[in-house]
Chain A
Amino acid sequence: KNQVEQSPQSLIILEGKNCTLQCNYTVSPFSNLRWYKQDTGRGPVSLTIMTFSENTKSNGRYTATLDADTKQSSLHITASQLSDSASYICVVSGGAGNNRKLIWGLGTSLAVNP
């Protein structure tokens, strides 16, 4: 069964600290993996996309990694800011034939405290 699991479910860190969010998937065949940020009460916004051949990609203080062999991705946030408080959702596209679709994780809720 195609699944996407994220950990931890929630996380609290102090402003200025780094953190890493995890996304494990069992989607096959794999097409790409995208990370979204969702502020409370808003729609998700894309942070980055990882394709099969990419290992690391940065978007400002956000760095995503992908290990296609172990089917794991991580999102590392450097020098966190209060505005990083949000839910971070991993979504994998893949599957074969009529089962090609987006499979969404449940998200990690991040709180950055002053």
Chain B
Amino acid sequence: DVKVTQSSRYLVKRTGEKVFLECVQDMDHENMFWYRQDPGLGLRLIYFSYDVKMKEKGDIPEGYSVSREKKERFSLILESASTNQTSMYLCASRPGQGLIGELFFGEGSRLTVL
């Protein structure tokens, strides 16, 4: 079975803290994505990567950065967490080129910033 694993299901952080969200996939997929999901706003793309050490901004990259040092691992970093970053964060991976392929999602990381 394909597997995307996110390191933490639930996190509680304080405003100004640095937050790392880790994601690992075991499917040898080229593409990896970070989304956030909020009620009434749906899924919004933060960053994506189509290769090791490559990254592209999504629709809402402000306040976030990413790292992809190995093909299987894609990390999302909140340099200084703020309360408006309280959300469900979803990591996904997809094989190949283009937009046809299925996205495989992790279980999600619910972050609360106090």
Contact = CB atoms under 8 A, between A and B. Distances in A.
A49 interface: yes
A34 B42 CA distance: 15
A64 interface: no
Given A41-B108, A43-B92, A43-B105, A93 B99 contact: yes
B108 A100 contact: no
B102 A49 contact: yes
A16 to B, nearest CB: 29
Interface stretch (A54-62, A77-85, A104-112): A104-112
A26 to B, nearest CB: 16
Interface in B13-71: 40-45
Interface string B84-102: 0000001010000001101
B43 A42 contact: no
B101 to A, nearest CB: 9
Contact of B107 (A42, A101, A104): A42
Interface residues of A, number: 21
B99 A43 contact: no
B78 to A, nearest CB: 20
A43 B4 contact: yes
Interface of B: 4, 40-45, 90, 92, 99-100, 102-103, 105-108
Given A41-B107, A41-B108, 5 more contacts: A43-B4, A43-B108, A49-B100, A93-B99, A104-B43
Rank and list the top 7 A-B pairs by shortest CB-CB distance, nearest first: A43-B105, A93-B99, A106-B42, A46-B102, A104-B43, A104-B42, A44-B105
10 contacts: A43-B4, A43-B90, A43-B105, A44-B105, A46-B103, A89-B43, A94-B99, A100-B99, A101-B99, A102-B99
